[in-house]
């Protein structure tokens, strides 16, 4: 039995032209998101993620290709497509003249939803906004404003929820609250499309993942397949010392944390021997399988024509 498609990107391209030249933000991106999926869209800054979501939302017109939401073209049948979408943008956009509850009632009105106070109350409770319901939007902290954006996106009960960097710059409490609520909605049948730079979130939440690089699709597969297809072993440790040149060339260093990809057990032994010979003092040594961050870094290091071992190349 075929699975229904919630969102379809069909050969989507977007080119910007200016006096300075031409920028190809999207270059023939095609993939489907199935109904009920929790789907991750990953890529470095400038990869085209937000442009693709803007095309989906109808904020940007594609130069080529089509985007469909539950079979409705986002250009030819914009109103029907938009009613099926709830989008949480990266930017904190709000009207400073209304309270939280007024903001959500107005958003309900945009979609023609009447008598929505019961659902608004539920949203306020789920997002820990009940005590802020009558507060003016200007009075809220950045994290509280982010919660209101989530509530606005969900106020008309859309079957497709799009989260564009929803936890950027927010505290741990909001992350946990948001993911608990969104995961429940996903279990109830809502389709979720997530972009995030927190790859541990994508690994924990997303059933399938697409990766973009320079506007092209460079990997697309189930999260489990991407992880199982990652070859080698990761050697992770902390150190304040400079690495030997032969290790520094292949290491990923974040502050004191060093991560090295090795092929097998003999590679671990060789790396440890090189560290000892180089006088590198090692703390908190860990040997583990590659995680999604390792897969992502490896995929982004490949050329655009390269085939990811557990995905596809555009």
Whether residue 90 lies inside any domain: the answer is no
Which residue in 37, 29, 28 sits closest to 6, CA to CA?
37
Whether residue 302 lies inside any domain: the answer is yes
Whether residue 89 lies inside any domain: the answer is no
Whether residue 193 lies inside any domain: the answer is yes
CA 166 – CA 172 distance, rounded (Å)? 12
Give the pLDDT score at 137: 83
Q: How confident is the model at residue 313 (pLDDT cuts 50, 70, 90)?
A: very low
Whether residue 92 lies inside any domain: the answer is no
Give the pLDDT score at 159: 96
- Say if residue 56 is in the same domain as residue 185: yes
Whether residue 167 lies inside any domain: the answer is yes
Q: How many domains does the chain have?
A: 3
- Say if residue 148 is in the same domain as residue 178: no
Torsional class of 285: left (φ above 0), alpha (ψ -120 to 50), beta (otherwise): beta
Last residue of a domain, one of 152, 176, 194: 152
- Say if residue 219 is in the same domain as residue 296: yes
Give the pLDDT score at 20: 81
The CATH number linked to 207 is 3.40.50.300
Which residue in 257, 216, 290, 161 sits closest to 29, CA to CA?
216
SS3 state at 43 = coil
CA 164 – CA 49 distance, rounded (Å)? 9
pLDDT in tens, 20-45: 888 899 999 999 999 999 999 999 98
- Say if residue 8 is in the same domain as residue 62: yes
**Would you state the structure tokens that stand for residue 219, as one six-digit string?**
């990997």
Which residue in 58, 225, 154, 136 sits closest to 67, CA to CA?
58
- Say if residue 223 is in the same domain as residue 114: no
Give the pLDDT score at 185: 93
- Say if residue 237 is in the same domain as residue 108: no
- Say if residue 16 is in the same domain as residue 78: yes
pLDDT in tens, 192-239: 999 998 899 999 999 999 999 999 999 999 999 998 877 678 888 998
Whether residue 271 lies inside any domain: the answer is yes
Give the pLDDT score at 1: 41
- Say if residue 303 is in the same domain as residue 221: yes
Most confident listed range (58-62, 246-250, 307-311): 58-62
Whether residue 94 lies inside any domain: the answer is no
Give the pLDDT score at 178: 86
Mean per-residue pLDDT, 233-248: 87
Mean per-residue pLDDT, 174-188: 89
Is 75 or 2 the better-scoring residue by pLDDT? 75
Give the pLDDT score at 303: 60
- Say if residue 36 is in the same domain as residue 165: yes
Q: What is the layout of strands, in order, in the sheet containing 21-34? A: 21-34, 5-18, 64-69, 72-73
What range defines the domain where residue 202 resides? 1-84+158-227+291-314
- Say if residue 279 is in the same domain as residue 249: yes
- Say if residue 284 is in the same domain as residue 297: no
Is 172 or 82 the better-scoring residue by pLDDT? 82
- Say if residue 62 is in the same domain as residue 5: yes
Mean per-residue pLDDT, 241-265: 84
SS3 state at 231 = coil
Give the pLDDT score at 231: 67
Q: Does the pTM exceed 0.75?
A: yes
């Amino acid at each position: 039995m075929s699975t229904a498609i919630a969102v379809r990107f069909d050969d989507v391209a977007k080119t910007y032209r200016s006096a300075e030249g031409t920028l190809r933000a999207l270059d023939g991106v095609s993939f489907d998101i199935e109904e009920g999926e929790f789907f991750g869209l990953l890529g470095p800054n400038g990869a085209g993620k937000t442009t693709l979501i803007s095309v989906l939302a109808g904020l940007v017109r594609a130069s080529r290709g089509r985007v469909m939401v539950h079979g409705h073209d986002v250009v030819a049948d914009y109103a029907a497509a938009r009613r099926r979408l709830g989008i949480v943008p990266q930017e904190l956009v709000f009207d400073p003249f209304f309270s939280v509850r007024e903001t959500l009632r107005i958003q309900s009105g945009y979609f023609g939803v009447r008598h929505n106070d019961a659902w608004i109350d539920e949203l306020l409770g789920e997002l820990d906004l009940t005590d802020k319901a009558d507060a003016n939007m200007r009075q809220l902290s950045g994290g509280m404003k982010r919660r209101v954006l989530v509530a606005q996106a969900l106020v008309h009960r859309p079957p497709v929820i799009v989260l564009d960097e929803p936890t950027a710059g927010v505290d741990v409490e909001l992350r946990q609250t948001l993911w608990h609520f969104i995961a429940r909605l996903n279990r109830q049948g809502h389709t979720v499309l997530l972009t995030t730079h927190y790859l541990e979130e994508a690994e924990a939440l997303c059933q399938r993942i697409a990766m973009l690089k320079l506007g092209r699709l460079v990997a697309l597969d189930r999260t489990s397949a991407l992880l199982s297809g990652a070859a080698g072993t990761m050697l992770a440790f902390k150190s304040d010392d400079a690495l030997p040149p032969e290790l520094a060339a292949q290491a990923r260093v974040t502050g004191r944390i060093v991560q090295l990809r090795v092929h097998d057990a003999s590679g671990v032994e060789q790396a440890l021997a090189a560290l000892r010979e180089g006088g590198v003092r090692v703390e908190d040594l860990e040997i583990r399988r590659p995680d999604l961050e390792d897969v992502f870094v490896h995929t982004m290091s490949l050329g655009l024509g390269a085939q990811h071992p557990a995905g596809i190349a555009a």
